[in-house]
Amino acid sequence: MTERRAIVTGAGGFIGHHLVRRLKADGFWVRGVDLKYPEFEASAADEFFLLDLRRSAQCAEALARIGEADIAVYHLAANTGGIAFIERHKALITHDNVLIDTHLLEAARKAGVARFLFASSACVYPAYLQQDANVAPLREGDAYPADPEDGYGWEKLFAERECRHYWEDYGLETRVARFHNVYGPLGAYAGGREKSPAAMCRKVAQAADGGEVEIWGDGAQTRSYCYVDDCVEGIRRLMDSEHRTPLNIGQERLVSIDELVDIVAHVAGKRVVKRHIPGALGVRGRTSDNSRLRAVLGWEPLTPLEEGLRHTYRWVADRIATGSRDAAGISGGHRDQPLAVTR
């Protein structure tokens, strides 16, 4: 049998690192590509290329010398972070990600890649559908008429279109996964790139029993959260499917940020006092409609939020308790590197 081979861009980042581990467990030979190695443990990849995918020549290098096997490219590399980061760095994000996505798609076409999965985001959905905390679940077709998250969301939506056109014009088998708030261990939990579950785990871990936890806004804003193992399972199923249009990968359970803090505090065995302060908020509410996901893949993410947060909290709390170097607030790359171009 021909050896199954895969390339994972963003393999030094959170989801990419978990995906590499899963692909290795599934019997793949894997090349990881990123600006940096994984932050918290060694990569399981068979080889790891340190490359800057904003440069077309380095995208070509990422896909070079891979052998005669059919190659699957899992493209997770992006300049991204939590809501405060993506609101403050729109020019940087759009500049970097347009270059990364465009150059890598073209390199994949030239290399004759068999399949190409693009990691998109629920940030492509229109703001006008997300103005209420009791938001209606977002269906894939709701992305148009377009009004995505400014900067990051617009770039993701444009890249989705690029994937479609590369299929239509060149026959490149593209898949598009729209991630909804993925969380879990081995991800950024401090420094500005962390998402709300990791941030709340850090804040609760650092708080004394009965202490204060700061929450941006009134705490009534809502989200749904997808555990990273479920996200990786969805990626693998989507890549192996014949479904070419964007597909949500997320949970349908909607919780407020206040409720998220309550769950983390319960996992930690602490009482906390919530203190609401001004901060970046994003949309008022967002959750996934998984109707198409169930129909296409016969599956949906099922890890309960309490279980996923238990794993995440224990990992974050252990990092803080052992005085890990990033516990003070820096996470996501080596100090002498530029802002990491990883998912």
The catalytic site residues sit at 152
Beta carbons of 50 and 44 less than 8 angstroms apart:
no
- List, in sequence order, every beta strand (DSSP E) within 12-70: 29-34, 47-50
Do strands 71-75 and 47-50 pair parallel, antiparallel, or not at all (unpaired)?
unpaired
Per-residue tokens: 239:
């890549």
Buried b (16+ CB within 10 A) or exposed e, 144-163: eeebbbebbbbbbbbbbebb
CA geometry: angle 173, 177, 183, nearest 5 deg: 145
d(CA 128, CA 57): 40
d(CA 245, CA 315): 35
Beta carbons of 18 and 232 less than 8 angstroms apart:
yes
- Nearest CA-CA partner of 74 in 118, 132, 27: 118
Beta carbons of 122 and 250 less than 8 angstroms apart:
yes
HEC string of 73-119 equals EEECCCCCCCHHHHHHCHHHHHHHHHHHHHHHHHHHHHHCCCEEEEE
Beta carbons of 14 and 41 less than 8 angstroms apart:
no
SS3 15: helix
